[in-house]
Structures are given as C-alpha cells and as structure tokens.
Amino acid sequence: MSGMAIRATRRLADQICGRVLLPGDAGYHDARAVWNAMIDRRPRLIVRCAGIADVIAAVRFARDHDLEIGVRCGGHGVVGHAVPQDGLMIDLTPMGGVRVDPRRRRARVQGGALLGVLDEASQAHGLATTAGNVSHTGVGGLTLGGGMGWLARRYGLSCDNVRSFELVTADGDVVRASAQENPELFWGLRGGGGNFGIVTEFEFELHATGTRALVVNLGFSLENGYEAMRGWRDLLATAPRPATLTARVSDDPDRPGTPVANIGYVWVGDPGDGEKLLGPLRALGKPAAERVERVSYLALQQRDDAVDGHALRRYWKGHYLTELTDEAIERFLLRGTADGRGEHLPGAALQSHGGAIADVPVTDTAFAHRDTLVEFTTSTGWTEPGEDGERIAAARRCAAAVEPFAGGAYVNALNDEGAVGVRRAYPTHTLARLTALKNAYDPENVFHLNHNIAPTTRVREIAS
C-alpha cells in the first residue's frame, strides 16, 4: 500500500467509531473468514462498522479509492460475495442488535444481526417471525433474498414480514423504504438481494407463536423410501399451515454408503395438535426408525447449527418444483446415480412451501416463486481440499438429475450459475422491474458482489 493510501486509511480509521483492519492486524483473518472454508480471499481493508455513519463512510471511501465493495452480514453465502479480493469488506456483524416492542409486535433488527439473536429476543415474549433454520445465519442476506423458515407456511417468508428498511445507497445517502415511503424500492428489497444498497436496519412484524414445536422424522431404506415418499407427496396438499413437511435422502452416518430416505414434518405450536398429523404419516409404511421430539422453538432453530457449522468446505445447488412427479421422486432418491449409492454423495432435501407463501400476489414482492410446491436443495461439506472436484461434481450431478422438473430457483440457493442463475431466480417481468430499480439506485453497479442484477447502462458497456 502506498504512503498516500496509508494516510487515507488512517483518516478513515479516525473518522469511524468501529475498526479498520488491514492485513497483518489482529483480528483481520477472523474477520475475513466466512462460513464456506473454500473462500480464502484477502480484502485490502475491512471496516467493522459500529453504526450507520461507519457504513456511509466506508461506502464513500471505497468509491473515492475505486475499491470493490463486499458486504458481510452473517457470512453464510456459499459463494463468498462478502469477501472482495483486494477490495473493501464492509463488515456489519458488530451491528447485531435487536430491539423488540412486544406491545406492537415489532422487532427492529440491525443489518449485521444473526437469526439466533432475533429469535431469542422475540421468544422472550412468546413471539417470532420467519427466520430460517440455522441460528448463525445473517438476518440481512436471508431476508433480502426471500427468507424461508419453519413459520413461512403460516406467516409468509421473512421478506413478507418486513415493514420497513433503512438503506445506505451507492452514493452514501440514507433512504427508508416501506409500503408508504419509496414503495418501489420496498418491493425490490423483498427478494431482490443486495443489489440496491446496504440495509442497516429491518423492521419486522412478529407473531404470537408460543415457544413450543414438534419435530417428526421417519426413516426408510432406499427400497421402501419410494412408496413412502409418494404418500408424503400426497400429504402436501392437505397439511395444516403450522406444518412444514420435510424429506431427505442421505447416507446413514453409522453405515457409510448405505442410503436412508427420511420423511417427516416440523410443527410450530402446540405439539399435541401437531401429533394429529403423525397418524397419516405412519400410515405410509413401516419405517426402520422413528423419531418424534417435542422441543422448544429456540431448540428447533438451533438443531442444525452444528451440522451447518463453520470451518467446512461447502457446495450446494437448489431448485423450486411446482409439482413432484413419481419420476422426480425417483431422481431425488438416487441423487444423480444409477442405484443411489456411491462415495461422497451429497445429501438432498425437500421442504414444503404453499400456505401463506402462496397467499401473497406474485407482483407484490421481488420474490416471485409463489407457486412453489417444494424447494429442493443438495449440499455437501468436507475438509480436504483434494476432494473439491469430486464433491462439487457429485452435487452438480444430483442437482442436474432433478433440474428437468424444476420451475425456477431460490436466489439464496444459487452458487456459481452467474447470469443464468439470476434468470432462473427471477421471471422475465420481475427481472425487468428489478433492472429498472437498479438503474435508479445503482446505475454504476457499485453493489455487484451478489447474484447480480446488472443495470442497463452496464449491460450496454459490456455489449459494446
């Protein structure tokens, strides 16, 4: 770094309340480490923001010095967009506060908060809002892409429960977006990702969910799983809204190479009411194993924290399916193989949509896949770099086997698909509207380290 750049960086450090980290500083390597251990990029500097004024200063500094901007909320994005090589990482994680107003049933959530903090603050009053399935996920990234969770069939996606946003634009200005104020931006922030600025505060509606939940899982051999899953599929149309139906195929942890098909559901609310669905599920076949657990809602939100923890190399792919045919079920169970068996196969899962998600008109938010029946994901985690090629190829084969039945993709589940993936995530009319919004708020594509919606001006530059 030149002497001039060092002096400018020192002035930035003097200006902000948070910290500026440079390579070699204590805490730099921890700050640049994200959930996917394959991401090993080194920003020129990291600004750990203590408040909105720090975010504004960081954006303006990056613009003045022509530095690429990455924005870190929770750091769960598998692509690692938060970490710009030789750029400026705006780290929101110090801005992790949550304030709950139980009387109004509202939560004000800073842009760097994790889901677990939101859950704990809300559950102290018996309240909650749709907030993913893993507590160390960032609220910001989850919500801006849509935000699925165990409450979505009952209360809508995370983005459906936002009542207002506070945003720092590419010019370093602060704007608010709600149904009454900047309504087009409000529309785009509910599903359009981080394309329009840096959200420093969300206001969520909360719901009286209580504090209890039920988790049901029936395990079948692969040979018996096909018939069980066909019956599970038939339950999707009639399942009560407090129930989110789940299915998964993976290798038995106690018998490597032996696949197990699991079907079940998660119920948020009175477990006694939830157990009424257990009879129809048991009628689908005789499982090799059964687990029925009454848990707290907080325990439910944390149950996958270890499985989806940090320090592993990660890869995932996903699809939305509007129907689940017999052939799609078979492809799902076989995971891109001839017989469902093989070394280092990824897990694959289905999670039901519908209910309150489908109640929202498709034009009301940038999240447009309101007709989704189930979301498919396949994911894998490993530690050895020498396995990268094999692991990624296996996950791609698994996803490719199901793709002929897909009707789109969840933007938060995109990986390395680039513009093709963006077109799968947004229907043509939605993408056109998002592009117009990008033209208005970020015509120079300052915020492009995301699943990018390029402004029209930038598209023309590339074409010429």
DSSP 325-366: -HHHHHHHHHTTSSSS--TTPPEEEEEE--THHHHS-TTSSS
User: Which of 91, 107, 124 is the C-terminal boundary of a domain?
Assistant: 91
**Residue 277: which residues within 8 A CB-CB, separation 6 or more?**
216, 235, 239, 240, 243, 265, 267
* C-alpha R_g of the chain: 22
374 with 412, same domain: the answer is: yes
User: Which of 181, 208, 235 is the C-terminal boundary of a domain?
Assistant: 208
Q: How many domains does the chain have?
A: 3
281 with 186, same domain: the answer is: no
Q: What is the pLDDT of residue 464?
A: 42
- 3-state SS assignment for residue 117: helix
Which CATH number do you get for residue 298?
A: 3.40.462.20
- For residue 259, CA distances in Å to 230, 256, 308 come to 18, 8, 20
Q: Is residue 9 part of a domain?
A: no
52 with 158, same domain: the answer is: no
Q: Is residue 362 part of a domain?
A: yes
Residue 210 has a CB neighbour count (10 Å cut-off) of 15
Q: Is residue 41 part of a domain?
A: yes
315 with 377, same domain: the answer is: yes
Calpha distance 253→33 (Å, rounded): 28
322 with 187, same domain: the answer is: no
Q: What is the pLDDT of residue 3?
A: 59
Q: Is residue 338 part of a domain?
A: yes
- Domain containing 397 equals 212-418
pLDDT over 80 (residue 163) = yes
pLDDT digits (tens, 9 = 90+) for 268-278: 999 999 999 99
pLDDT digits (tens, 9 = 90+) for 114-145: 999 999 999 999 999 999 999 999 999 999 99
Q: Is residue 451 part of a domain?
A: no
Q: Is residue 439 part of a domain?
A: no
Q: Is residue 448 part of a domain?
A: no
22 with 63, same domain: the answer is: yes
User: Which of 91, 121, 155 is the C-terminal boundary of a domain?
Assistant: 91
pLDDT over 50 (residue 223) = yes
Which CATH number do you get for residue 51?
A: 3.30.43.10
pTM: 0.95
266 with 340, same domain: the answer is: yes
387 with 257, same domain: the answer is: yes
Q: Is residue 401 part of a domain?
A: yes
Q: Kindly state the tokens that stand for 7.
A: 């002096």
Which CATH number do you get for residue 171?
A: 3.30.465.10
pLDDT digits (tens, 9 = 90+) for 432-458: 999 999 999 999 999 999 999 999 975
55 with 156, same domain: the answer is: no
293 with 248, same domain: the answer is: yes
